[in-house]
Amino acid sequence: MEEHLEITRLRQELEQANYEYYVLDNPSMSDYDFDQKLRRLEELEAAHPELITPDSPTQRVGGKVADGFHEVVHRVPLESLQDVFSVQELEEFDLRVRDALPGEVEYDVEPKVDGLSVALEYENGRFVRGATRGDGQVGEDVTENLRTIPSIPLHLPETLPSLIVRGEVFMPKKSFERLNQERELRGEPLFANPRNAAAGSMRQLDPRIAASRGLDILVFNIQWSEGKTFDTHAETLEYLERQRFKVIPHYTCRTIREASERIQALGEERETYRFDIDGAVVKVNSLSDRALLGSTAKFPRWAAAFKYPPEKKPAKVLDIVVQVGRTGVLTPKAVVEPVRLAGTTVTNATLHNQDYISEKDIRIGDTVLVQKAGEIIPEIVEVLLSHRPEGTVPYRFPEQCPVCGAAVARDDDGAHIRCTGAECPAQLLRHLVHFASRDAMDIEGLGPAVVESLVNAGMVTGPGDLYHLELEPVAALERMGKKSAKNLLSAVERSKENDLSRLLFAFGIRQVGQKAAKVLAVHFRTLDALMSASEEELTAIPDIGGITAKSLLDWLHSPQSQHLIRTLREAGVNLECREAPAGDRLAGKTFVLTGTLEGFTREEAKAKIESLGGKVSGSVSKKTAFVVAGEAAGSKLRKAQELGIPMLTEEEFVALVEGAE
């Protein structure tokens, strides 16, 4: 079994190289040699599949895609820690600890990695399972993803029957920046911070994705061990180091004062770390003392997490720019002089909205304090007024959309300022999706995804373009095909016949909802008539108030809207109301009254019918629409029956005329 020996030797060499590279950061084997040996091992394993073991270096990326994550009940809960925010709170923690313990207390201080907590389980020295923290009691089985992290040993030099180790999976700052750059290029949403990126990577069903993310781990606790006992936490960490784990940097301190100084020093150094830290952990070193202290319902009493305040730095505001989001909301941001903050270079800061800028009186030219609090874009904490140069002026929010030049308007609830442009490129997607929606132009098959690909392909730059789409290019779009393209084009074609009320609603004019659109269409009959209406004419209509009238007129008279209407007219889209006017509800209908009505005289009934556009005749003929039959109706009723003309009781008649009002 010559090859069997070679396999064993190659695995040892590769594991050693891996360990030197990823854990010790001190490689002795060249990448070239590593690749050669790995390939040789793969060949041998391919020839002898029976010799493949799960802890072989070839098995780190199994390539098996999971269909979900199974729950794992943690043998020992992964507790969270009580937070302390000041030296004083740290001293109070120390007092509580020393009150409960007889002798001197030694502490261990470690940086708190901002990542994803996991438990790694080993049986007889082999990595068998890894799980996320979850709620501390129950987590998710992410073994295959964890196996791809090269700094996790797949087997240990010393083979205890059972060992469970806790650690923090993290994405190094460099990997994080690279990942977000790639995502930006591909138009994918960015991760807010390395912690989210690490967590997102761990939840990938395909381990190859996790493997590509450059994840790393630092272990910091033995949760459970069989066949070995320890006296102190520091001892456990030293043991883990000998087992080739990448162990958290840690410092043993004899007093809380020493611990406090160490925590401050870590805070000052934190930018130099490869990973984000969100604090430092202080733990009682003696494991028997820990047992004495125990836990509250929420936290262990023997540890605390010191949280550093977010890092702040001064930066000069070079400019304030306004961006228009896809929903038309205008968002201002400050362009600042580049400054290093929490491990990344910051060049802009969020300003949220006009109120935020006014409240803080942020001006171009100001020096401001910026801080990063878990988000990608840092925020401005305060303006350093003593640094304000002469001649600065308060910032004024633009009154026109910086993208299309249309007027901007504040939302009803005051929260956002939006562009009102009918064809604003920035909010094209939103406009199109609304235009095609069921209550608007009802273009089946034109949902957000299709709209997006049409826009991305440059085929549509406004609702008018929908009416010029051609079959071939649409069918060539991704996930489209000939059949869907055909259906889409006929749905577009059908929508040309829609009533004016649908089109008015589809325009997405602020304040003009479905009901107002209907009222306007029925009243004005044509879009042209509506376009020449005055404010007085509009507000004279019941249901149309001053705000609606103004918003409508602003919209109708903007050059963008007029361009849009012209395009639609040229495409043959119906611009007329096809519903009967309210006052003409009974137009063309002839009524014959017979017998005695209880609630009306003949004259009253006649007036009612005529006011709705109908006619009243004395004799029944084929042209009679309805015969209204009161008490003691005579020959006219028989004639109507012979001709098959519908008859109305007085109740039905009342319902008909009142329904028409």
Shortest separation between residue 411's beta carbon and Zn ion, angstroms: 15
Burial of 632 (0-12, 13-18, 19+ CB in 10 A): exposed
| Residues with Cβ within 8 Å of residue 126, at least 6 apart in sequence | 54, 55, 154, 155, 156, 159
Q: Six-digit token pair at 157?
A: 């030099």
- How would DSSP label each residue in 312-323? EEEEEEEEEEEE
Report the chain's C-alpha Rg in angstroms: 38
Q: What part of residues 303-342 is at the interface with Zn ion (CB under 5 A)?
A: none
Q: What is the 3-state secondary structure (H, E, C) of 502-524?
A: HHHHHCCCCCCCHHHHHHHHHHH
Count other C-beta atoms under 10 Å from residue 441's C-beta.
24
Count other C-beta atoms under 10 Å from residue 341's C-beta.
20
Residue of 10, 156, 217, 404 interacting with Zn ion (CB under 5 A): 404
Cβ closest to Zn ion, residue 430 vs residue 606: 430
- Alpha-carbon span 119 to 483, nearest angstrom: 51
- How would DSSP label each residue in 595-660? SB-SS--HHHHHHHHHHTT-EEESS--TTEEEEEE-BT--HHHHHHHHHT--EE-HHHHHHHHHHT
Residue of 315, 419, 527, 586 interacting with Zn ion (CB under 5 A): 419
Shortest separation between residue 353's beta carbon and Zn ion, angstroms: 17
Q: Which stretch binds Zn ion (CB under 5 A): 44-52, 343-351, 395-403, 530-538?
A: 395-403
Q: Which of 315, 310, 353 is nearest to 333 (CA)?
A: 353
- Alpha-carbon span 11 to 159, nearest angstrom: 17
Shortest separation between residue 422's beta carbon and Zn ion, angstroms: 9
Q: Which stretch binds Zn ion (CB under 5 A): 27-35, 68-76, 415-423, 502-510?
A: 415-423
User: Where does 80-236 show beta strands of DSSP type E?
Assistant: 82-84, 107-113, 116-123, 126-132, 138-140, 162-170, 216-226
Cβ closest to Zn ion, residue 305 vs residue 406: 406
Shortest separation between residue 511's beta carbon and Zn ion, angstroms: 18
Are 136 and 200 in contact, with CB atoms under 8 Å apart? no
x/- mask, Zn ion, residues 491-530, rule CB under 5 A, reads ----------------------------------------
Number of residues that bind Zn ion (CB under 5 A): 7
Q: Which stretch binds Zn ion (CB under 5 A): 226-234, 266-274, 416-424, 576-584?
A: 416-424
- How would DSSP label each residue in 533-546? --HHHHHTSTT--H
Residue of 120, 131, 146, 424 interacting with Zn ion (CB under 5 A): 424
Q: What part of residues 268-297 is at the interface with Zn ion (CB under 5 A)?
A: none
Residue of 266, 317, 401, 428 interacting with Zn ion (CB under 5 A): 401
Shortest separation between residue 560's beta carbon and Zn ion, angstroms: 9
Cβ closest to Zn ion, residue 111 vs residue 462: 462
Cβ closest to Zn ion, residue 402 vs residue 595: 402
The counts of H helices and E strands in the chain are 24, 22
Q: Six-digit token pair at 486?
A: 């055909």
Cβ closest to Zn ion, residue 273 vs residue 397: 397
x/- mask, Zn ion, residues 591-620, rule CB under 5 A, reads ------------------------------
Q: Which stretch binds Zn ion (CB under 5 A): 114-122, 412-420, 522-530, 607-615?
A: 412-420
Cβ closest to Zn ion, residue 404 vs residue 544: 404
Cβ closest to Zn ion, residue 80 vs residue 560: 560
Shortest separation between residue 535's beta carbon and Zn ion, angstroms: 24
Does residue 421 bind Zn ion (CB under 5 A)?
A: yes
Cβ closest to Zn ion, residue 279 vs residue 421: 421
Shortest separation between residue 330's beta carbon and Zn ion, angstroms: 9
- How would DSSP label each residue in 203-263? T-SSHHHHHTTT-EEEEEEEEEEES---SBHHHHHHHHHHTT--BPP-EEESSHHHHHHHH
- Alpha-carbon span 593 to 605, nearest angstrom: 8
Question: Pick the catalytic residue: 37, 64, 112, 482?
Answer: 112
Are 577 and 499 in contact, with CB atoms under 8 Å apart? yes
- Alpha-carbon span 401 to 628, nearest angstrom: 60
Does residue 171 bind Zn ion (CB under 5 A)?
A: no
Does residue 422 bind Zn ion (CB under 5 A)?
A: no
Shortest separation between residue 331's beta carbon and Zn ion, angstroms: 13
- Alpha-carbon span 654 to 73, nearest angstrom: 71
Residue of 335, 403, 455, 529 interacting with Zn ion (CB under 5 A): 403
Is residue 615 flagged as an active site residue?
A: no
- Alpha-carbon span 628 to 605, nearest angstrom: 10
Cβ closest to Zn ion, residue 409 vs residue 625: 409
- Binding residues for Zn ion, rule: CB under 5 A, are 401, 403-404, 406, 419, 421, 424
Active site positions, annotated: 112
